[in-house]
Amino acid sequence: MMHQKMTAITALEHSVEIKAVSKTFGAFHAVNNVSLPIRAGEFVTLLGPSGCGKTTLLNMVAGFIDPSAGAIHIGGVDVTNVPVHLRDTGMVFQSYALFPHMNVFDNVAFGLRQRKFSKSEVTRKVMQTIEMMKLSGMEGRRISQLSGGQQQRVALARAIAIQPKVLLLDEPLSALDKSLRAQMQVELIEMHRNTGLTTIFVTHDQGEALSLSDRIVVMNRGQIQQVAEPIDLYSNPANGFVASFIGEINALPAAIYQASDREISLAIGDIRMTAPRRPEWKFGSGEMVKAFVRPEHVRMATSADAGSNVVTGEVLTHIYQGSHTITRLRIDGLGPIEMRLPGGDVVGRVPVGMPAQIAFDLSQVILLADNPN
């Protein structure tokens, strides 16, 4: 593989630093005091609901939008006032934005030609990138003669051909259908491994974020909520927003009535339970908190479960999903709770309308302060 690690050596010098950047439109804070250092070669994902400022932040890194405050450094250099065409970033647009009047080769060659490479150098680099993006044989095709997935690959090839200091991907997969998206995710991972490019990836698809990223930046209303590795984000959300945004979760109001160094005892409605204390929990006795329990951490109670952790609820629905079944129950004083049971477990299913005894996986309960943010 001749293209392997083609930028590995130079990539070490490159990194991006977003320093206290804000962007206001009128009185509206689209991006609010965001700071984010990105290591060279890292794959970082900006994740958040629609309108949270992901595209705005990415556009500020690329130079399409000037920050209202703060600074952006690329490769150790302050580029806040450097125009777009001198920033050396590679952006892939949601609309691909391929040049319809050029063929695949010329699209991929565009950035290289701006950099005044010799003709043979351009050809060599273009063919190398085209090969890496599995587009060999399509160099002469018009953009209109390509499928959506192929256009996507051309867009990526065009951006990585120039070996930018940072690759910026704004929801590049959102226009593809589900199976193609899964395939492109794999190719993105391979591309990143092959090129070692520092990458900022924007998505509002948490699954995509969890499977692709070295680190995920969760944003909401223009602000960073949490920056963490995927596993950490899922098992250790920093606040209620992150907990509910990443994966499914039951949010239950809880009161702490006893707190020791090792255990915390909670009352969730009428239910009393004791969970092992996590070091980051600073709550004391008498405090109101939110208890978050993922559906996969709720199960049917067995005789082994301690009485205090067992809750009786009424089964509302079963939603069969192949590999698993989502069961919704109503528990008096708490409202609905979702649990996730392995798919083949049809025999043991409690019929709808009947009471079922469930238990929480107490070591997995997440407690967070009971404020909106």
Partner 1 sequence: MTRQRPFFVQFLVPAVLVAVIFAAAMFNVLKYSFLEFVPGSLNVGGFTLENFTRINRPIYYWVLLDTFILSFATAFFALLLSYPISFALVRAERNWVRSVLVVLAITPLFTGEIVRTYSWMLVLGSDGVVNTALKSLGVIDRSVPIMYTRVGVVIALVQFAMPVMIILLATAISQINRDCEKAAANLGATPNTVFWWVTIPLTLPGILSGFVVVFAWTMSAFSTPQLIGGGKVLMISNVVYLQGFSSFNLPFAAVLSLVALFAALGSLALMKLLTARLEQNMATS
Ligand X SMILES: Nc1ncnc2c1ncn2[C@@H]1O[C@H](COP(=O)(O)OP(=O)(O)OP(=O)(O)O)[C@@H](O)[C@H]1O
Residues in contact with ligand X by the rule CB under 6 A: 25, 28, 30, 48, 50-56, 204
99 binds partner 1 (CB under 8 A): yes
Radius of gyration of the chain (CA): 25
95 binds partner 1 (CB under 8 A): yes
Among 50, 101, 304, 353, binds partner 1 (CB under 8 A): 101
Residue 142 binding result from Mg ion, partner 1, ligand X, none, given CB thresholds of 5 to 8 Å by partner type: partner 1
85 binds partner 1 (CB under 8 A): yes
The Cα 174–Cα 170 span in angstroms is 9
Q: In what order do the strands lie in the sheet with 16-25?
A: 28-38, 16-25, 69-74, 77-78
- Work out the angle between the directed axes of helices 148-161 and 119-132 (0-180°, nearest 10): 130
Closest distance between ligand X and the C-beta of residue 242, in Å? 16
- CB contact at 8 A, 294 and 361: no
Among 1, 86, 347, 354, binds partner 1 (CB under 8 A): 86
Provide the 8-state DSSP code for 145.
G
For residues 46-85, which are near Mg ion according to CB under 5 A?
55
Strand partners, 198: none
Given the rule CB under 8 A, which of 8-16, 94-102, 119-127, 295-303 is the region that contacts partner 1? 94-102
Cβ-based nearer residue to partner 1, 162 or 216 = 162
81 binds partner 1 (CB under 8 A): no
Residue 86 binding result from ligand X, Mg ion, partner 1, none, given CB thresholds of 5 to 8 Å by partner type: partner 1
The helix (run of H) or strand (run of E) holding residue 233 is helix 230-235
84 binds partner 1 (CB under 8 A): yes
Given the rule CB under 8 A, which of 108-116, 173-181, 258-266, 353-361 is the region that contacts partner 1? 108-116
The helix (run of H) or strand (run of E) holding residue 28 is strand 28-38
Q: For the chain, what's the residue count?
A: 373
The candidate with the shortest Cα–Cα distance to 58, out of 25, 81, 29, 30, is 30
For residues 162-201, which are near partner 1 according to CB under 8 A?
162
Cβ-based nearer residue to partner 1, 143 or 184 = 143
Cβ-based nearer residue to partner 1, 164 or 222 = 164
Among 50, 118, 120, 144, binds partner 1 (CB under 8 A): 144
Among 80, 93, 127, 238, binds partner 1 (CB under 8 A): 93
The C-alpha torsion from 352 through 358 and 364 to 369, rounded to 10°, is 80
The Cα 90–Cα 156 span in angstroms is 9
Cβ-based nearer residue to partner 1, 85 or 262 = 85
The candidate with the shortest Cα–Cα distance to 156, out of 85, 214, 98, is 98
Cβ-based nearer residue to ligand X, 163 or 220 = 220
Cβ-based nearer residue to partner 1, 97 or 306 = 97
The Cα 270–Cα 195 span in angstroms is 56
CA atoms within 13 A on the CB side of 273: 24
Q: How many other C-beta atoms are found inside a 10 Å radius of the C-beta of residue 93?
A: 15
| φ/ψ of residue 370, rounded to 5 | -90, 65
Residue 52 binding result from ligand X, partner 1, Mg ion, none, given CB thresholds of 5 to 8 Å by partner type: ligand X
- Helix (H/G/I), strand (E/B), else coil: 306: coil
Residue 273 binding result from ligand X, Mg ion, partner 1, none, given CB thresholds of 5 to 8 Å by partner type: none
- CB contact at 8 A, 297 and 372: no
Closest distance between partner 1 and the C-beta of residue 112, in Å? 9
Cβ-based nearer residue to Mg ion, 219 or 365 = 219
- CB contact at 8 A, 103 and 140: yes
Residue 81 binding result from Mg ion, partner 1, ligand X, none, given CB thresholds of 5 to 8 Å by partner type: none
Closest distance between ligand X and the C-beta of residue 219, in Å? 7
Judged by CB under 8 A, the number of residues near partner 1 is: 34
